[in-house]
A and B are shown apart, each in its own frame.
Chain A
Amino acid sequence: QSALTQPASVSGSPGQSITISCTGTSSDVGGYDYVSWYQQHPGKAPKLMIFDVNNRPSGVSARFSGSKSGSTASLTISGLQAEDEATYYCSSYASSSTLFGGGTKLTVL
């Protein structure tokens, strides 16, 4: 099983929207609606931002949204804020296993 594929970095200006992709296969992302996204600030534990492709836990801003098409999932952050600067990881169920993406560092310019 290989890790899910994410771009190494993305950037955007405050107020803009950005999208982070997460590409897998039909055995993971494409096969189940169990994609989740995590935000990690330096030195901190990851925080769940999206689960089951497009659901937000209580307390997570509505500026964060998720979607999926085929074997590629996406995380969109609208109205970028300085506090959104962090590394984002996708994850997927994969037949009795859990896969993570390599992480995408978001820079808010």
Chain B
Amino acid sequence: QLQLQESGPGLVKPSETLSLTCTVSGGSISSSTYYWGWIRQPPGKGLEWIGSIYYSGGTYYNPSLKSRVTISVDTSKNQLSLKLISVTAADTAVYYCARHRARGLNMMLVYFDAWGQGTLVTVSS
């Protein structure tokens, strides 16, 4: 059974870099029909897609976050990572990793069918 587990610091200082890792078990991150994504949810608010990556390294990012986000993948460890620079209190959220189904020759990203449990990251001095 596929499992995703987020890990990383729960507290980050303003202006610093938020770094998280997602470890995938029970399946290979090197799947031809899936991307792997990050989604966040500020306390009491809705979901926001951050970006998604293919096992070969191709990425799609939310235009509103693109200038601050880097998503990478390590197929040898079956992991994906998220880096978000210059964080502020507005970046305080539960961060989820998820498997992102892709369709068609141009790999349209269509739905998330497996999620991690999420990890709360608070930005505060």
A-to-B contact residues, CB < 8 Å: 1, 3, 32, 34, 36, 38, 45-48, 51-52, 57, 89, 91, 93, 96-103
Closest to B99 in A: A48
Inside 8 A of A47's CB, which chain B residues have their CB?
A: 115
Q: Using known A-B contacts A36-B111, A48-B112, A91-B111, determine if residue A1 contacts B63 with beta carbons closer than 8 Å.
A: yes
A46 CA to B111 CA, complexed, in Å? 12
Residues of A within 8 A of B75 (CB): none
Please give the distance in Å from A56's CB to the nearest CB on chain B.
Answer: 12
Q: Which residue of B lies closest to A104 (CB)?
A: B46
Q: How large is the interface on B (under 10, 10 to 19, 20 to 34, 35 or more residues)?
A: 20 to 34
Number of interchain pairs (Cβ within 8 Å): 64
Instruction: Write out the residue numbers on chain B whose beta carbons fall within 8 Å of the beta carbon of A36.
Output: 110-112
Across the interface, B110 reaches (CB within 8 A) one of A46, A93, A101, A102, namely A93
| Distance between A46 CB and nearest chain B CB, rounded to angstroms | 6
Q: Are A51 and B47 in contact (CB under 8 A)?
A: no
- Partner of A97 from B60, B113, B118 at Cβ < 8 Å: B60
B109 CB within 8 Å of chain A: yes
Contact B101 A51 (CB under 8 A): yes
| Chain B residues numbered 40-87 whose CB sits less than 8 Å from any CB in chain A | 46-49, 52, 60, 62-64
Interface residue from A46, A93, A102, A103 paired with B108 (Cβ < 8 Å): A93
Q: Give the CA-CA distance A89 to B41 in the complex, in Å.
A: 12
Report yes or no: A45 in contact with B117, Cβ–Cβ below 8 A: yes
Please, how many angstroms separate the alpha-carbon atoms of A34 and B104 in the complex? 12
CB distance A89 to B46 under 8 Å?
A: yes
B103 at interface, CB cutoff 8 A: yes
